[in-house]
């Protein structure tokens, strides 16, 4: 992420956090490179294992170039996934006066040097920057000034808050809470009774509070990749994107010494409703092909009607374990 929220023009040194989301452009970015690799593989009859290695190296090279651009501005970089990161630019290396200028400069450098697009969110903290970075994907910059937090946050549906899934939304709906503004009206004691420790988090998020720091080199709790379609598509039309995303995800997972036990599929409808499907196989995926197969089977569990369209899709790995923890254990029950 980028640390240093969008500081107001009059405050040059205020703490700021921004989340940069680097989305790879169709041409001539990463997707085009992968397509060229596939064509080369087919024409030269390269074995499947070698083709996967070739594509992985292309992905790694592009992501390394993006990270090098980040490092020109700060060493405080917290990766979120293969193509997302928080950057702390409170005291950036280039001496730019605001996080907004840093984000704008990084986006331009990515465009000029790598011919890729990047969306960026700039806000007073990580939580708000995450929301901001999603606001103008795949190629935009959205800034939430400190004085504009309430105007931006309060009208949002509670489903936009991190951790608020289907079950939590249903519980909030029973309390007649649909928006963040309505959530803010709830007493802390009521939220704690209904949601336990997460009730405190809900209370803080409704007020735009997030004191978490940008932590470089933090072991990821999950690895994920996602992309937004140029136009909303039907569910059967998502397969090519799922295959591209699993290739990127598999490449990223090879750098992680721990083993992921859970595969997650994420979809966002044209109405901005987010849904996820997950599966923890008995044995972790051992190849990109196995990972792709699981992701496609998770898609079969999405039942929203044949005419439902989707604007975003993502694939992730979570529930990481140390290798020794994944060894087969004897069954405890027959």
pLDDT one-digit tens code per residue, 163-205? 898 889 999 999 999 999 999 999 999 999 999 999 999 999 9
24 pLDDT band (50/70/90 cuts)?
very low
Which strands, in side-by-side order, build the sheet including 274-279? 222-234, 309-321, 259-269, 274-279
Q: What are the backbone dihedrals phi and psi of residue 270, each rounded to the nearest 5 degrees, phi first?
A: -65, -20
Question: Looking at residue 306, what is its pLDDT?
Answer: 86
Question: Looking at residue 13, what is its pLDDT?
Answer: 25
Lowest pLDDT segment from 91-95, 145-149, 190-194, 298-302: 91-95
**Nearest to residue 120, comparing CAs of 171, 158, 69?**
69
Q: Where in the chain is the domain with CATH 3.30.1490.100?
A: 222-325
Annotate 111-146 with b (16+ C-beta within 10 A) or e (fewer): eeebebbbbbbbbbbbbbbbbbbbeebbbbbbbbbb
Average pLDDT for 234-249: 93
Question: Looking at residue 199, what is its pLDDT?
Answer: 94
Mean pLDDT, the chain, whole residue set: 80
Q: 222-325 sits in which CATH class? A: alpha beta
Q: What are the backbone dihedrals phi and psi of residue 225, each rounded to the nearest 5 degrees, phi first?
A: -135, 145
From the candidates 60, 78, 84, 147, which is the catalytic residue? 84
Question: Looking at residue 156, what is its pLDDT?
Answer: 96
Architecture of domain 154-205: Orthogonal Bundle (1.10)
Question: Looking at residue 98, what is its pLDDT?
Answer: 87
Q: Is 271 annotated as catalytic? A: no
Taking the model in full, what pTM does it have?
0.65
Q: How far is CA 48 from CA 37, 225, 272, in A?
A: 12, 23, 37
Per the model's pLDDT, the better-predicted residue between 76 and 9 turns out to be: 76
Contact 310, 230 (CB under 8 A): no
CATH of 17-147, one of 1.10.730.10, 3.40.50.1820, 3.40.30.160, 3.30.70.270: 3.30.70.270
Q: Where in the chain is the domain with CATH 1.10.150.20?
A: 154-205
Q: Where in the chain is the domain with CATH 3.30.70.270?
A: 17-147
């Amino acid at each position: 992420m980028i640390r240093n929220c969008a500081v107001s023009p009059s405050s040059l040194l205020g703490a700021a956090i921004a989340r940069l989301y680097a989305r790879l452009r169709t041409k001539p970015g990463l997707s085009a490179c992968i397509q060229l690799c596939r064509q080369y593989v087919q024409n030269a009859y390269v074995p499947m294992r070698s083709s996967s290695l070739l594509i992985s190296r292309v992905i790694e090279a592009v992501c390394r170039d993006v990270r090098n651009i980040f490092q020109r501005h700060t060493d405080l970089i917290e990766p979120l996934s293969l193509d997302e990161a928080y950057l702390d630019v409170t005291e950036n290396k280039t001496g730019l006066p605001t996080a907004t200028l840093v984000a704008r400069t990084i986006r331009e450098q990515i465009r000029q040097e790598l011919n890729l697009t990047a969306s960026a969110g700039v806000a007073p903290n990580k939580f708000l920057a995450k929301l901001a970075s999603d606001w103008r994907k795949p190629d935009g910059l959205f800034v939430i000034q400190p004085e504009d937090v309430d105007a931006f946050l309060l009208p949002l549906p509670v489903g936009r808050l991190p951790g608020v899934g289907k079950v939590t939304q249903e519980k909030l709906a029973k309390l007649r809470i649909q928006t963040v503004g309505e959530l803010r009206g709830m007493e802390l004691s009521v939220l704690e009774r209904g949601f336990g420790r997460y009730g405190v988090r809900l209370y803080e998020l409704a007020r735009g509070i997030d004191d978490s720091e940008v932590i470089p080199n933090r072991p990821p709790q999950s690895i994920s990749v996602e992309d937004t379609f140029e136009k909303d598509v039907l569910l059967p039309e998502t397969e090519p994107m799922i295959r591209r995303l699993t290739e990127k995800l598999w490449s990223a997972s090879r750098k992680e010494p721990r083993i992921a036990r859970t595969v997650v599929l994420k979809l966002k409808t044209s109405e901005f409703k987010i849904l996820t499907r997950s599966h923890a196989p008995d044995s972790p995926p051992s190849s990109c092909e196995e990972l792709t197969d699981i992701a496609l089977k998770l898609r079969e569990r999405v039942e929203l009607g044949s005419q439902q369209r989707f604007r975003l899709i993502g694939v992730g790995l979570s529930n990481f374990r140390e290798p020794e923890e994944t060894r087969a254990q004897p069954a405890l029950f027959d």
